[in-house]
Amino acid sequence: MLDWLYYAPVVGARVPDVDPSSLTASLVSLGAISSQRKHWQFTREQLEDLRSKLEDEDQALVQAYPLPQLRHLSIYFNQQMTRLGKRLGVRQQAMATAQLYIRRFYSKVEIRKTNPYLVLATAVYLACKMEECPHHIRLVVSEGRGLWPEYFSNDTSRLGECEFFLISEMSSQMIKNPILLGLL
């Protein structure tokens, strides 16, 4: 199955030369059955409904901890993820995958119920594993601790638990990067 069809392309990435006419019919037919399309493609209205349902579950938490606009949070978390990625030397493809994991995870889980710094580090760790450029869990934890000492512990088991939580919330629907598949 070609799960990579609905993956957002990485800006500035080289895409291999492929004759589109030879692939069009097969890609269109396989795109209709893609798990990414079935489970992770939303309209703006659907996303707003998902977010409002998450906030409606615990109104006391929402009122106790008001958040800035979602786009500002997204920008901030992407900057923090980039800082971690630079310290680890993570490839651009894995960083793009991690960003997608964060967006998918927080479409299912209320951000106020999590430690976003732990989720960021976990998404980078998991994306590196999926994109076949893995980093040791201790290295990810130590770099996360170096960046966010007040929010991050040295306990590797917490990152491991968060990894399983992230995978389960995304229903084990991990993506494959189209750039890597195009090179095969």
Q: Name the token pair of 116.
A: 């976003």
Residue 151: DSSP 8-state: T
CATH of the domain at 174: 1.10.472.10
For the chain, the domain total comes to 1
| Angstrom distance (rounded) from CA 169 to CA 73 | 20
pLDDT at position 176 is 57
pTM, two decimal places: 0.72
Whether residue 162 is contained in a domain is answered as: yes
The boundaries of the domain holding residue 126 are 42-182
In a domain, 176, yes or no: yes
Would 51 be classed as within a structural domain? Answer: yes
What is the model's pLDDT at position 32?
Answer: 47
In sequence order, the 6+-apart residues with CB closer than 8 A to the CB of 146 are 87
Specify if 174 maps to a domain: yes
Q: What pLDDT, in 10s, does the model give residues 130-180?
A: 888 888 999 999 999 999 999 888 888 999 998 998 988 877 766 655 555
Residues in the chain, pLDDT under 50: 1-15, 24-29, 31-32, 182-184
Domain assignment present for 48: yes
Per-residue CA distances from 147 to 20, 32, 53, 61 (Å): 44, 42, 32, 27
Is position 75 within any domain?
A: yes
Locus of tokens 């976990």: 122
